[in-house]
């Protein structure tokens, strides 16, 4: 079985069925073509920790160019915000160094209390 074909569920990534976590930072995500970064903004990257999964830190990519949260908004919230990801999924890939890493994405993100 090829490990990179295994799809992970919200529970497996976040430790809960709802896909909730805590966003620590936000950055722009750009398209890559043939391994080279382009100037085309395609997604927003949310660096997130999942308390119910031993505070595992993961970057979750959400398609679109308008962030729901910004780093400035996070500063106003003491540097973190509780969120719920819509349709959180993940899969493993092999990095250039040969180690396995997690790639996570979601269809959307919602700030929760």
The mean predicted confidence, pLDDT, of the chain is 93
**Model confidence pLDDT, tens digit, residues 54-96:** 999 999 999 999 999 999 999 999 999 999 999 999 999 888 8
Whether residue 2 has pLDDT greater than 80 = no
Alpha-carbon distance 42 to 44, whole Å? 7
Domain ranges in the chain are: 3-111
- Can you spell out the DSSP letters for 21-75? EEEEEEEEEEEEETTEEEEEEEEEEEEEEEGGGTTEEEEEEEESSS-SS-HHHHH
Give the mean pLDDT of 32-44: 93
Percent above pLDDT 90 for the chain: 83
Whether residue 106 has pLDDT greater than 80 = yes
Tokens coding 19 = 């896909």
Give the mean pLDDT of 32-36: 89
Backbone φ and ψ for 96, nearest 5 degrees, come out as -60, -25
Residue 6 DSSP one-character state: P
Query: How does residue 98 score in pLDDT terms, banded at 50, 70 and 90?
Result: confident
> What's the pLDDT at 1?
61
| CATH number assigned to the domain covering 3-111 | 2.40.50
> What's the pLDDT at 35?
82
Residue that wins the pLDDT comparison between 74 and 5? 74
């Amino acid at each position: 079985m090829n490990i990179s074909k295994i799809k992970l569920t919200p529970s497996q990534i976040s430790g809960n069925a709802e896909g909730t976590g805590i966003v620590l930072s936000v950055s722009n995500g750009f398209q890559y073509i043939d391994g080279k970064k382009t100037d085309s903004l395609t997604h927003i990257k949310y660096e997130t920790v999942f308390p119910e999964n031993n505070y595992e830190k993961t970057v979750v990519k959400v398609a679109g160019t308008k962030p729901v949260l910004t780093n400035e908004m996070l500063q106003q919230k003491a540097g973190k915000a509780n969120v719920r990801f819509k349709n959180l999924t993940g899969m493993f890939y092999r990095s250039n160094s040969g180690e396995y890493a997690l790639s996570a994405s979601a269809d959307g993100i919602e700030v929760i209390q």
